[in-house]
Structure 1
């Protein structure tokens, strides 16, 4: 009888020691689950907040790009209207607003000295063009005005690269020089104009696929808006998402 009572007491003691241990384990498991749920909820909230921030940034950049695209369209429209009745031998790109002077009147063959007829055309063109590009309503959007020199495919690429660069420099030197007639916004133009030589990298082709060398030898005036910077910022936001 005594042995039986001892077995009962021993069994009861074992059960009593088991349940606290199980309860502690169960409490720990519950705490771990709660901690996991809290972390998961926090991460979801952080992710949602981040997505909301990114969406706001994307909306901002989209509105800025749309605004700048609208500005470009307005500038192109004004340029086209300004030179619609002009006798100048120029072509206006209706999409970008780039203006092309082409033909043999620009420079002598293999030369970078501006010919008299081209000087006359520049003296007529520049005041009207700058009045549009650097008008008060546009100048804060325009980051750069680029004079590009282009050649045909006669000669090596490096020879044509140097020649096209020298021709672009000649144009810029002339329109900013003392011999050029006065025009509005000259000081602002000095801060924003650049000269680039493109060699034969952008030839103009005939319908039959041959090179139109006369049209390829040209000078182009282009303008850049600040949309390039906005696009770069937007790409950074997209890549970080």
Structure 2
């Protein structure tokens, strides 16, 4: 009897850790390696962008306060060629720093000092997305239409008036969560459960930042909310496109 062929090896997930604190980068990298990641360490922003091009990582752990090319600019440049998950590290708790970092496409952030276990928990939540709870919502149809906006769920593409709109993974997932429930107002917590998963812990105001970025890309404003509408004191719902 011919023996069955051995299963193909599972490709290791790839991570890039970017921090000018060499000891911290090594510590984070060590935890990621124990979780089975192939890890590349970088200590400056310019190098990080080039490494991300070469490695094509699943996730980037990115320090906001890098010297020279800072984390915001690194994230902005990465988003021109990669939709990997980006988890931002910041030693500055000022809200403006966090909001700027998320608005260029970061998916989550952790404030220093942090425990490596907390960091790995956040990494694993990101990489498990989309995560189904014990009572998952009905699956979204293959495509969702909101006036001139088309959200192709299967292809993970968004088109407005026939023109493709480039959204990050998080932005696309938030838009899909809203568009698939056109008659329902979703609170921040509901959106976090739908996009990040029920196990996510952190500041739920990061939803506001991602919604703002979706609006900017769709040409919406706080006054003219054609696609994503704010229901004051409750949350967000999809608009009509008019």
Whether TM exceeds 0.5 here: the answer is no
TM interval, short-chain normalised: under 0.3
RCO higher in structure (CA 8 A, sep ≥6)? 1
Judging by fraction of residues, say which structure has more strand: 2
TM-score by length of 2: 0.26
Judging by fraction of residues, say which structure has more helix: 1
